[in-house]
Structure 1
Amino acid sequence: MIGIGSDNASVIVGLNNGVYIKLKEDIPTMVHIRCVCHSLQLAVSHACSETMPRNLEFLVSETYNWFARSSSRQQAYIDLFKLINDGHEPLKIVRACQTRWLSIASAVPRLCDQWLELKTHFGLTKSSERCYTSEMLHSLYSDEYDHAYLVFLKSVLNEVQRVNKIFESNDCDPTKLLQDLTLLIENLVNRVMLPSNRHRVDPFSCNLEEYLDPKLNLGYDTEKLLSDLPKHLHEDREKTLRERCSQFLVFLIKELRNRLPDNVQILKTMSLFSVENTLRVVKNSIVPLLEFFNISAENITKIEFQWSNITLVKWNETKNTVKFWAEVNEYKDAANINPYKELANIAITMLSLPHSNAEIERVFSQMNLIKNKLRNKMKTDTTNALLHIRYGSNRMSETCVSYNFPNEVLDLIPSNDKYRCSQESTIDQPGPSRTVTDEANIDDDDDLNIILQTM
C-alpha cells in the first residue's frame, strides 16, 4: 500500500485516531492525498463566506430560485432578453449549491454576462409583482459595486475551476496534476504580493500579510468597471471593495495551503516521470524521491543508473506518459530480461497514487440512477453487475447497441450451464424463493454474470 486518497472527513484525516494515522504507523512512507476537488470547493466556499459581502450569496441563490419557481417568469425574461439582444436566447441561470464542486464558478459568470438584462427584468417585476425578493434583487443589480465584486470573483474562480476540471478528468497526465495545483497557488500569491518579493520568498510558507501589495490589481475587467464609476461619490466603497478582495485572495491561499498534502514538495517531483522529462539527456535526480519511499541504497544505485540510460532505447510511446511506462515495464532485452524493471516499478507506483475522488463520486451517481425508488429491492450483486457493465462498456468504447456478444456466450443463455456459478441463486423480487434448477426461472443476476465474463 503506497497511498490513500480521501475526502476531508474527520474519521479519515483525524490527527489522533484517523484512518490515515493508523495506517501510517505500519507504513511510514504512506502518502495521503485529500480529494483536491473537495478541497477546492471547500476553500472557495469558506473564502467567500468569510470575506465577501453576505448580499452576494443572496444575489446568486435567489436569482436562480426566482426563475426556478415559475415558468412564466422564465418566459418573461426570455422575451426581454431577446428584445435586448436581437433575438438571441439567454443561457440558463446556474444554481450554486454546497454539495457540487465549485458550482459557484459556473453561476457567477452567468450573472455577470447577463447583468444588464437581469437588472432590467427585476426593475420591471418590482412594480408588477410587488414582492420583497424582486425589490431586493433590483436593488442589488442596481449597485455596480456588487457587479464589481462578481466580476472579480469570476476571474479568480475561472482559474480554480480550470484546475478542478483537470483533476476531475480521466485523460489528464498524472505527472502534471500536482504541478498544476501548486501553480494555482503560486499564481494567486503573485496577485497579492509585491512584485519585488515574488522571487525571494516561498509562496507555500511565507506570511502573506508582510508582503501584500497596497495597490492590488483586481484584473482588467474589474479595474475598467471601477474606473467608470464616480470615485468622488463612493471613494470609501471602492476602498472597502479592494480590501475585501485582497482578504479573499489571502484567505483562499491559506485554505489551499492547509488542504495540500504535507509532502507536496516530494510529490512535485512526480513531474520528473513525465515522458518529456524522462527522455531528456540532462535531467534532475530522483534520489530524494527514492529516499522518501525508503528504497535500499543498492536499489537506489541501480535505479539511478537505469534513469540515466533510459534514453539509449528508441521507444515507441513518446506522447502519453502512462503508455510510455507501460512499454518500459514490458521491455525485454536479448536475454529476455527487463533492464529497467526497478525504474518502471517506482514510476508505476507514483502514477498509481490517487489524486481525487471524482471517479468514486461518478460511481455513486451511476448507482443512484440504477437503484432508484422503483427498483429499491434490487440486490447488491445485480447493482454491482450493472455498474461493471456500464464501466466495462465505457472502457471498451462500446454501447449496448454496438457491443457484439460472442456466440459461445449467446449459446449459454437458454441453457442451465449459465447457472454453474450460482446454483442456489434467487430472483430479486419479494416472494417465495425459487432456485435456478428450473430452466424456466431465469435469474437476471446470472444473465449479468454471463455478460460480465465477456467484458
Structure 2
Amino acid sequence: MQKLPSHLEFMVPETYRYFSHSTLRQQKYAQLYSTINVGKQPLKLQQLSETRWLAIAPCLTRVLQQYDELKLHFEMKNDRNHLPLQAVDFGVQFNIELARTSLDSGIVDTVKKYDRDFLMQLLSELQQRLPSNIHHLQTLDALSPETVLGLRKPKLQDLSFLMKYSGDIGKLDEQWQYIGTVSWPMDVLDNEEKFWMTVHDHHDASGEQDFKEVGQFALSMLALPFSNASVERVFFHK
C-alpha cells in the first residue's frame, strides 16, 4: 500500500488549524470565496482525527473541493500577485517630484518598490489595529441623517448591529420606515447625536413619543466603543 505524501499529511491538518482559531481569517476567506463563486459560502473544513487515520479521505476531499480558492487566499501576499510597479498609483505629488529628478531608472524602480512595500506594511498594521467589530462600524453610516432620510436608506434587517436590539422588532421596523415622513429641523441634520435625540423626543398629535424606540436604539449604537472617537484612537495613537 502506497504511503500518503508527507506534504499532504501536513497540509490537511494545518489548513484546518489555520482557520479554526481565527474568526477574522474565516471571514476574509469567506469573502474571497463568495466573490469568486457569486455569493456562495465556502465548505467547512474538517478536522483530521489523530486516531482514525483513515478519516483523512473526507478531510482531503474537502480541501480539494476548494483548492483553487484556498491557494489564492494563501498566495495573496505573494509578490507575483501584486500589481507591477508601473501600474501602482503612488499619487500625483510623488510622480511630480520623481519627474523633477534625473535618477537612473534602476534607482527609480528601487524607490517605487520601497514605497509600495511601505504602503503594504502600513495597510497590514492598520488592519491589525482596527477593532474586531469593524463590520458594525462600516454600517453605522446607515444612521447618518443623510442616509436615513435619503434614497440610500437600507432595510432595517440589513443592519449588522440589529442583533444587538432586544426590544420589539416590529415596532422598531415601523418607526424606521416612517421616519422619513416627518419634516425634521434643519439645524440637527448635520449632527447624528442631535438628530437622533430629536427623533427620540418627537411627539405625535396625541402626545406620544412616536419614534422613541428607533431613537433610543440609534443613540445606543452611536455610544458603543466602535464610535468615531474609538476609530480616531486606532489611527492616530500607538
Q: Please tell me the TM-score bracket, short chain as reference.
A: 0.5 to 0.7
8 Å Cα contact 2:136-2:161 kept in structure 1: no
Residues 1:253 and 2:126 aligned together: no
In 2, the alpha carbon distance for the partners of 1:304 and 1:359 equals 31
TM-score when scaled to structure 1?
A: 0.30
What amino acid is the match of 2:205?
Answer: A
Structure of larger gyration radius: 1
8 Å Cα contact 1:281-1:311 kept in structure 2: no
What amino acid is the match of 1:353?
Answer: L
8 Å Cα contact 2:85-2:109 kept in structure 1: no
| 1:175-230 Cα deviation digits (max 9, x unpaired) | xxxxxxxxxxxxxxxxxxxxxxxxxxxxxx99355233431233333323323333
What amino acid is the match of 1:238?
Answer: V
Higher RCO (CA 8 Å, separation ≥ 6 residues): 1
* Structure 2 unmatched ranges of 5 or more: 1-73, 234-238
Q: Which residue of 2 aligns with 1:329?
A: 200
Distance 1:294-1:313 versus aligned 2 partners, 3 A rule: closer
Q: Which residue of 1 aligns with 2:13?
A: none
Question: What's the secondary structure of 2:206's corresponding residue?
Answer: coil
In 1, the alpha carbon distance for the partners of 2:127 and 2:212 equals 36
* Residue identity (%): 27
* Structure 1 unmatched ranges of 5 or more: 1-204, 361-455
In the TM superposition, residue 274 of structure 1 has moved relative to its aligned partner by 0.7
Distance 1:228-1:323 versus aligned 2 partners, 3 A rule: closer
Distance 1:329-1:343 versus aligned 2 partners, 3 A rule: same
Q: Which residue of 1 aligns with 2:156?
A: 286
In 2, the alpha carbon distance for the partners of 1:220 and 1:313 equals 45
The number of residues matched between the two structures is: 152
What amino acid is the match of 2:179?
Answer: I
What amino acid is the match of 1:254?
Answer: S
| 1:44-88 Cα deviation digits (max 9, x unpaired) | xxxxxxxxxxxxxxxxxxxxxxxxxxxxxxxxxxxxxxxxxxxxx
Q: Which residue of 1 aligns with 2:236?
A: none
- Taking the TM superposition and a 5 Å limit, the aligned residue runs for 1:1-20 are none
In the TM superposition, residue 333 of structure 1 has moved relative to its aligned partner by 1.8
TM-score when scaled to structure 2?
A: 0.55
Q: Which residue of 2 aligns with 1:356?
A: 229
In 1, the alpha carbon distance for the partners of 2:128 and 2:98 equals 33
Q: Which residue of 2 aligns with 1:207?
A: 76
What amino acid is the match of 1:268?
Answer: Q
In 2, the alpha carbon distance for the partners of 1:306 and 1:292 equals 17
Q: What RMSD in Å do the two structures reach over aligned CA positions?
A: 2.9
Distance 1:258-1:240 versus aligned 2 partners, 3 A rule: same
Q: Which residue of 1 aligns with 2:63?
A: none
Runs of 4+ in 1 over 6 A off after TM superposition: 357-360
In the TM superposition, residue 306 of structure 1 has moved relative to its aligned partner by 0.7
Distance 1:260-1:357 versus aligned 2 partners, 3 A rule: closer
- Taking the TM superposition and a 5 Å limit, the aligned residue runs for 1:36-185 are none
Q: Which residue of 1 aligns with 2:93?
A: 221
| 1:97-141 Cα deviation digits (max 9, x unpaired) | xxxxxxxxxxxxxxxxxxxxxxxxxxxxxxxxxxxxxxxxxxxxx
In 2, the alpha carbon distance for the partners of 1:289 and 1:256 equals 22
Q: Which residue of 2 aligns with 1:347?
A: 218
In 2, the alpha carbon distance for the partners of 1:235 and 1:289 equals 49
In 2, the alpha carbon distance for the partners of 1:286 and 1:213 equals 43
